[in-house]
Structure 1
Amino acid sequence: MNKLPRWTGWVVLGVALAAGAGFAFKGSLARDVAPPVRYVLLDGSHHESQQAWAGKVMLVNFWATSCTTCVKEMPEVVATYQKYKDKGFDTLAVAMSYDPPAYVANFAESRQLPFKVAMDSTGDIARSFGQVQLTPTTFLINKRGEIVKRFVGEPDFNALHATIEKLLAES
């Protein structure tokens, strides 16, 4: 019978624990990268996120005209866009696939939404962002294209603004 020294088990356990701690630490620092998506704006123009969002802090807001919280938060989303748009910040409002395009266009025009509004007619954008189904769901993306925060429901806009300012200050 081949016997290993008694301390061998402790060494193996220590190495395994250290490796696990290393993975856990690395995982806590790693951020998900925003998925590359193609989208069509209300004006019919086609865009790709990798080119359109490069080097910007992005707010991607999934919403619907039938969502009361979405309608309620939209003035704050507009105010956030207006406050930071000249500093490297942009916003894309993504209308859910079940939202009739005429309703979305009417909402965007009547509320004078100043940022880009995309129709997710096929649901591909929502699927790309992790099967978004609840509205509003909002993603904050840094200049490197990493998802920094995901909000389900209306965000705390004061906290959101503080985070945007930190992200805009990053190089």
Structure 2
Amino acid sequence: MKRRHLVLGAAGAAAAGAGVGWNLWRQPPPVVLDENTLAFWQAAFTRPEGGELAMRSMFGQPLVLNFWATWCPPCVKEMPELDRFAKAFASQGGRVVGLAVDNPTAVRQFLAKTPVSYGIGLAGFDGTELSRKLGNSTGALPFTAMFDRQGRIVQRKLGETTHDELLGWAKTL
């Protein structure tokens, strides 16, 4: 009788171990963000209208981040495309943020004439360095990056983007 209990106990332990092992094998490994991406998610920017635009409040949502400036013709040209995309992306739980690499007064004046529906943060001229840390090797504008729900950069582009291009990016999430 004791031997039977020992065999049954061993079989039960093996089955439990196999179940735990199977479950661990099925789960994806935890996402580890690099130092620069992690620092981005911890950053906050002043909004042109006042208040704070905290990146951590958007973590867990798909995010399109666009670095732009009022003095950059391709940046200004793509803003209506980004705005149209932002409205469609919101229905999928996504967000669009524009970080202005510019003088705050110029940004406020520009947005008073050309408002957009997506969030704008004032990165100032330090925004160039932030864009470099996120993959913009030249520091040129416009620069756009897409983050997935885990906070990882999954798309990057230096240069003007279009609504259709951004829709294609969103389909990969």
Q: Please state which structure has a larger fraction of its residues in helix.
A: 2
Match of 1:88 in 2: 93
Query: Whole-Å Cα distance in 1 between the matches of residues 121 and 92 of structure 2?
Result: 22
Render the CA deviation track for 1:15-52: whole Å, top value 9, x for unaligned: xxxxxxxxxxxxxxx986733222111122123312x2
Q: Which secondary structure does the structure 2 equivalent of 1:87 belong to?
A: coil
% identical equivalent positions: 24
Residue of structure 2 in register with 1:121 after alignment: 124
Match of 2:170 in 1: 164
How many residues get paired?
Answer: 134
Q: Which residue of 1 aligns with 2:72?
A: 67
TM-score by length of 2: 0.69
1:1-12 map, 5 Å:
none
Equivalent residues of 1:31, 1:148 under 8 A apart: no
Question: Which ranges of 4 or more aligned residues in structure 1 deviate by more than 6 Å?
Answer: none
Instruction: List per-residue Cα deviations over 1:131-170 (Å, max 9, x = no partner).
Output: 5521100111111100011110012542321221331xxx
Larger of the two Rg values belongs to structure:
2
Whole-angstrom distance in 1 between the partners of 2:162 and 2:87: 17
Post-superposition CA distance 1:50-74 (Å, at most 9, x none): 2x21221111110000000001111
- Other structure's SS at 1:83 match: helix
TM-score normalised by length of structure 1: 0.69
Gaps of 5+ in 1: 1-29
Residue in 2 aligned with 1:44?
Answer: 50
Q: Which structure 2 residue ranges, 5 or more long, are not aligned?
A: 1-31
RMSD: 2.2
Please state whether the residue corresponding to 1:138 is helix, strand or coil: strand
Q: Which residue of 1 aligns with 2:141?
A: 135
Q: Is the 8 A contact 2:100 2:121 kept in 1?
A: yes
CA 1:47–1:158: 2 relative to 1, 3 Å: closer
